[in-house]
Amino acid sequence: MSVFARMWLGVLVLACFCLGIVVMISEQNPSRFENETHTFSYNLAPPSLYESAVMTAQDVVRTKARSGIVAHHLLVADKIAQTFASLGTGREKTVVILSPNHFDLGRQSIQFTDGTWETPFGDVEVDSGVLEALVQQDASLSYEPETFEREHGISAIVPFVKQFFPRARIVPIVIHDTATQEEVEVLAQAIQTVVPNAIVVSSIDMSHNLPEHMSVFHDEVTLRTIEAGECLNACTLEIDANAVLTTLFEINRLRETQEWKLQYHGSSLAMGATSDWRENTSHILGTFQAGKSVSGSFVAMQAVGDIMLDRGVRSKIESQGVGYPWENVARYLQGSQLMIANLEGTISEDLSIATDEPPFRFTFSPKSVEVMNTYVDVVSLANNHSRDRDRIGEEETQEWLDTIGTDWFGGYATSEPVYRFNQVSLIGYHQFGTKIEDLLPVIEQEKNKSQFVIVLPHWGQEYIFEPQEGQRDLARQMVQAGADLIIGSHPHVTQGIELVEGVPVMYSLGNFIFDQVEPGTDMGLSVGVLLFEGEGVLYLSPVQTSGGQPIPLSDDSAQEIFSRMSKLSSAELIPNILLGVIPFTYD
């Protein structure tokens, strides 16, 4: 072959290579799509629902706010309409909609589409020019129209865009919770660069499928996070769109529009739309205006009672699967910054040696504890079962927890190590293995560091509902040493709650995951702990343990538990216990 021929062959190969690159780019670049028109609509609600909702917003005053949070649950269509009506001026030409990826569809964590949405008020077009510019800023954006065919997080609210922003085109983006912080920051910067004056709406429903006695705690944590304008810890709120909310926070930070204005907070149960907590959804809607977020950090923790993964629970795990104990509490245990439990046993690959008669010697499979690690952040080993396989078994348990990645504190015969989280110290105490004289200096040491000190004692008499005088005496000593909150275990039943020199003492949370059959052992209590600026709130939430599975109780059933507990508690706490919410102050 001549030199001339080889030269032209090289040019031809290069041209084909470049053509391939162009084709690949065209798959991502909305300006080079095929001549295919994507049409979307929302047909799960009649036009009359939207029309009625819009009528409720006729007198709403525009605030010029350029970002907000709306629900996509059309049970609150009127509140969605009113929030939209308060945004911007109504003359904006671009509305960015950020939605969760409800059905885990598509290839990438952040996706977009072109096309047109049909609504009762007329069609709404996607702004392909803005999308093209966004892709140039953020090459990771993925063009996946199929995802949007079912995504109600977008479609349910597009009619409100047409009604309240008649000139606007939309920029629909779905964000899966697998999106990294870096991906979120790049997307937010791209939106701010390309459309700095656009209306940005995050489509988010909040707490799901939980009774009010738990969702009220989760919603309070979510509200405080929104007011702060950032996730103070990893964003794991009990909502359907953590990555969406994080993206909005970053956009607001770039725009300096972080002042939150709450428009509406409610739930399906509270408004009487359902009586089944499994169908409950809570809603938080509002806008962000120019200004700073609320300063002041907070700490949100949740503690549950005894977890035992051997004997009858192990049998259930072996027959039903390793995730069996947690099937009904995935969302129940989500949403706080720290999840705490009492681990009643040891961890080993050895076979179970548990018996039906004492002494019980519990051995947990490492695989079952690995699953627990998905839901629980830190466990207390200050209990009478941490040496069921002698001291070497306690040490092996500590090693397994370190390997699995579950933090731990305390032990059979010691209150150390102490677990510290932000300005909180967790201290374990085993009444039957640790001297109170050894505990008190540890409390004093942590208090002298200006920590909020929570003592988790393993104490009292099993199967007794009323706190015993011995527990009260120990509690007084702990409080005098500097304890700010006491959360007990060991009786395997829930006990009363008292104030000891102004300090809340929860004598026993009872069981969380266990297989006992004695009366009262099938009921346990979770406590949400919210701390902020010298004030605290405890949120009580009971569960029923059935067949080794904790299951949230309905609000009516919870009220019965609260009523029983109130009769065993301090008189001044009775009104709060009946509500399931106990406020307190601390130094």
Tell me the average pLDDT across 534-556. Answer: 96
154 Cβ neighbours under 8 A, 6+ residues apart: 40, 97, 99, 117, 148, 172, 174, 203
Please give the sequence-ordered ranges of beta strands (E in DSSP) within 146-198, or none if there are none: 169-175
Can you give the residue ranges of every domain in the chain?
Answer: 28-289, 299-585
pLDDT at 36 (0 to 100): 61
In this structure, the chain runs to a length of 587
Tell me the average pLDDT across 24-43. Answer: 60
Per-residue tokens: 464: 């007794």
pLDDT digits (tens, 9 = 90+) for 80-103: 999 999 999 999 999 999 999 999
For the domain made up of 299-585, give the CATH fold.
Purple Acid Phosphatase; chain A, domain 2 (3.60.21)
The pLDDT of residue 10 is above 80: no
Per-residue tokens: 167: 């000139």
Residue 159: asked if its preceding bond is cis (omega within 30°), the reply is: no
- The band of 296, judged by pLDDT with boundaries at 50, 70 and 90, is confident
Q: What are phi and psi of 79, to 5 degrees?
A: -70, -35
- Cα dihedral across residues 350, 356, 361, 363: positive or negative: positive
pLDDT digits (tens, 9 = 90+) for 178-193: 999 999 999 999 999 9
Residue 359: asked if its preceding bond is cis (omega within 30°), the reply is: yes
Please give the sequence-ordered ranges of beta strands (E in DSSP) within 514-564, or none if there are none: 523-532, 535-546, 549-552
- The band of 359, judged by pLDDT with boundaries at 50, 70 and 90, is confident
pLDDT digits (tens, 9 = 90+) for 435-472: 999 999 999 999 999 999 999 999 999 999 999 999 99
Q: Say what the pTM is.
A: 0.92
The pLDDT of residue 23 is above 70: no
pLDDT at 43 (0 to 100): 81
Q: Which residues pair with 173 in a beta bridge?
A: 98, 112
Mean residue pLDDT of the chain comes to 93
Alpha helices in 421-554 (DSSP H): 436-447, 469-481
Residue corresponding to tokens 């949405």? 117
User: How far, in Å, CA of 112 to CA of 99, rounded?
Assistant: 10
pLDDT at 32 (0 to 100): 46
Tell me the average pLDDT across 28-45. Answer: 68
Helical pair 77-86 and 47-55, crossing angle rounded to 10 deg: 50
pLDDT digits (tens, 9 = 90+) for 201-245: 999 999 999 999 999 999 999 999 999 999 876 689 999 999 999
CATH superfamily of 28-289: LigB-like (3.40.830.10)
The pLDDT of residue 18 is above 70: no
The pLDDT of residue 371 is above 50: yes
The pLDDT of residue 12 is above 60: no
The more confidently predicted of residues 165 and 4 is: 165
Q: Which residues pair with 457 in a beta bridge?
A: 429
- The band of 358, judged by pLDDT with boundaries at 50, 70 and 90, is confident
- The band of 161, judged by pLDDT with boundaries at 50, 70 and 90, is very high
Helical pair 469-481 and 436-447, crossing angle rounded to 10 deg: 40
